[in-house]
Structure formats: C-alpha cells, structure tokens
Amino acid sequence: MVGLDPLIHPPTRLQLVTTLSAVSEAEFTTLRTALQVSDSVLSKHVSALVDAGYLRSRKSVHAGRRTTWVGLTDVGRQALRDHVAAVRQLIDMVD
Amino acid sequence: MVGLDPLIHPPTRLQLVTTLSAVSEAEFTTLRTALQVSDSVLSKHVSALVDAGYLRSRKSVHAGRRTTWVGLTDVGRQALRDHVAAVRQLIDMVD
DNA sequence: GACTCTACTTTCCAGATTGGCAAGTAGGCG
DNA sequence: CGCCTACTTGCCAATCTGGAAAGTAGAGTC
C-alpha cells in the first residue's frame, strides 16, 4: 500500500541510486566523493545492493589505474522507479 | 546540500506528516489505523515530532469519548515542505 | 617473481532507531 | 470510588549506520 523500498529509502542509498540513475555507470571514487561517505560505508551499501540485484559492479584498468565501476541493473532501475512512484504518491499530497 | 530531514524521512514518519499535511488535524486512532502501526509506535513518533516542534496535539472530549487530535505546526509544515523539496531534487533525476 | 602501492573490502565496534508487548497512567462516567 | 478507554512509557530485541583499522587482491616496478 505504501510501497517504499527499504533497500532504497535510507538517505545514503537514495542518493546512491538516484545518482546512478542518471548515468550508465559511475566510478567508486566519484560516488564516494559525491555522497561524502567513507570507503567502507560506500562499499557496504554497494555490496548490499549488488546482493539485492539492484547494482552491478565491475573492475577495470586504464593507464595503470584500477577503478571499480558501479551501475544500476534493470531490476534496480525498475525498483527505483517503483520506489520513486511510491514516494511521489506520498509527497504529492503536500501543498 | 542534500537536505533530507532525518526527523521526517523514515517511512512511518513520512506517512505520518504527509497524511497530516492534507488536513488541519487528525485523530490519533485514525492515524494509527491509516499507518497500520501499534499504539506505542504512533505515540512515540508523535511525541518525538511534538518535541521537535513539528506537531501539536490536544485532547478533547465529545460524547464521552476522549480523543487526541494531532496536527502539523507551521514549523512542521515548513520542515515538510523543505524535506519534500530535497526529496524531489533527488528523485526528479530519475527517468 | 617478489615488493609495493593503491583501491577497495571486511571486521570490529559503538551508537542510534524502530517496532511490539506489556505495564502504567489519567481522565471521564456510572 | 471503581471501571473503562485511550493513550503513554518502560523494557527489550533486532536492525541499521557509520567510521576506523586491518585485510586483500591485482597492477606495475625492477
């Protein structure tokens, strides 16, 4: 009835997935800077969402630099849409 | 920068304040039914938000029935607007 | 091939939250 | 004065969140 997704709702998670929704992938480091959280925190949120099937991560090497790329899966994108719809249903009552 | 209000963001809180935003006041019992939570949970959320100055509650008696009425204060209404604005800024990126 | 350096990952931990049950309380009614 | 209703509070377990610090793994270096 309410439909808020507890995997997505918490502030850091919401920032993470909404940030990712705008792009196909983002670098771990970029995300950490954008969200202003520690390595460990981002790593844990990412792996929780990977476990849930919402995110996918891959490692790549460019010019001797190893980076981890993170992106939404189709499942995650849909879950986000659903969550956003639920949030809108609540907040659109306001004003 | 993100601006999510931790007093409002949690699911039950968000349901509570958005429900209240549509009306001037609501009965405790009605809210408990609408939110599907126990007495104690609603009571605790309400009193936390009253302490924060976001809600106001008053008791009344009608036809031998005691009821507690709960409503947003101006401060609470503004906090909700701000919170909703912050949420929108995040979720409007989606799609 | 060993060493190092970086980029995460995992462990450990403390503190805060959330929720339900059950006991407590307070006001109105008979 | 006792009872009943309508919350309120205390107690507790489970979960979550975040940071620091230790651990790990792969790439480059020599």
Q: What is the pLDDT of residues A34-72, one digit of tens each?
A: 999 999 999 999 999 999 999 999 999 988 889 999 999
What part of B 54-83 touches A (C-beta under 8 Å)? 80-81
Continuous H helices in chain B: 11-21, 28-35, 39-51, 74-91
Domain ranges, residue A20 = 11-90
Q: Which two tokens stand for residue A65?
A: 């630099």
Model confidence band, residue B63 (pLDDT cutoffs 50, 70, 90): confident
- For residue A6, being part of any structural domain is answered with no
Residue B18 to residue A93, Cβ atoms within 8 A = yes
Task: Output the domain CATH number for residue A75.
Answer: 1.10.10.10
Taking 90 as the threshold, does the pLDDT of residue A82 lie above it? yes
Q: Of the candidates A15, A81, A36, A17, which has an alpha carbon nearest to the alpha carbon of residue B86?
A: A15
- For residue A51, being part of any structural domain is answered with yes
**Residue-level pLDDT at B74:** 97
Please indicate if any CB of chain B lies within 8 Å of the CB of A90. yes
- For residue B5, being part of any structural domain is answered with no
Residue B15 to residue A80, Cβ atoms within 8 A = no
Question: What proportion of chain B, given as a percentage, has pLDDT over 90?
Answer: 87
Domain count, chain A: 1
- For residue A40, being part of any structural domain is answered with yes
How far, in Å, is the CA of A83 from the C1' of nucleotide C13?
32
- For residue A19, being part of any structural domain is answered with yes
- For residue A57, being part of any structural domain is answered with yes
- For residue B73, being part of any structural domain is answered with yes
Residue B94 to residue A87, Cβ atoms within 8 A = no
Question: What proportion of chain B, given as a percentage, has pLDDT over 70?
Answer: 99
Condensed to tens digits (0 to 9), the pLDDT of residues B9-51 reads 999 999 999 999 999 999 999 999 999 999 999 999 999 999 9
Question: What proportion of chain A, given as a percentage, has pLDDT over 90?
Answer: 88
Taking 90 as the threshold, does the pLDDT of residue B54 lie above it? yes
User: Helix A74-91 and helix B11-21: axis angle, to 10°?
Assistant: 40
Quote the CA–CA distance of A88 and B13 in Å, as a whole number. Answer: 15
- Read off the pTM: 0.91
Please indicate if any CB of chain A lies within 8 Å of the CB of B94. yes
Kindly list the residues from chain A whose CB atom is less than 8 angstroms away from the CB atom of residue B87.
87, 91
Residues facing B70 on adjacent strands: B26, B57
**Residue-level pLDDT at A95:** 77
- For residue B60, being part of any structural domain is answered with yes
> Do the beta carbons of residue A12 and residue A35 sit within 8 Å?
yes
